[in-house]
Amino acid sequence: MYKPKILVIDDEKHIRMLYQEELEGEGYDVATSDGEEPVLDVLAREAPQVVILDIRLGPDRCGLDLLQLIRNKGEHVPVILSTAFDSFQHDLKSIAADYYVVKSVDLSVLKATVRQALAAGKTA
């Protein structure tokens, strides 16, 4: 049975584990990355249908920079920016993302956004 693959990139292990458990419960195949490995290598290896990308990946790494690498490479995978800080929504680099979700203990918005991204990807 085909399961869409979701790639979660977040520097916080407990967030990666939570997202993986919750999304696998929804029937997805989930891969995770802490953002240390080059993002293009992870994309090539995992071939996800959707990427969930944290904006703050530690003190010296920024998810917005990884997003730019993904887009500059010509990757058209839907990217959901996920952060605890909604002020990034107004950062010009964030316009390259397809979706934007503020982190919450309630993952219903994230799950709905993943479903929306997968549905949009099938028609693209």
31 - beta bridge partners? 7
3-state secondary structure (DSSP) of residue 33:
strand
Q: Read off the DSSP letter of residue 114.
A: H
pTM, to two decimals: 0.90
The whole-number pLDDT of residue 89 equals 54
Give, in order, the Cα–Cα distances in Å from 67 to each of 27, 28, 91, 106: 26, 22, 12, 25
Domain 5-106 CATH assignment equals 3.90.1640.10: no
Mean pLDDT of 47-75: 88
What are the backbone dihedrals phi and psi of residue 58, each rounded to the nearest 5 degrees, phi first?
95, 180
Cβ-proximal residues to 14 (8 Å cutoff; 6+ apart), any chain? none
Mean pLDDT of 30-42: 94
Domain boundaries, the chain: 5-106
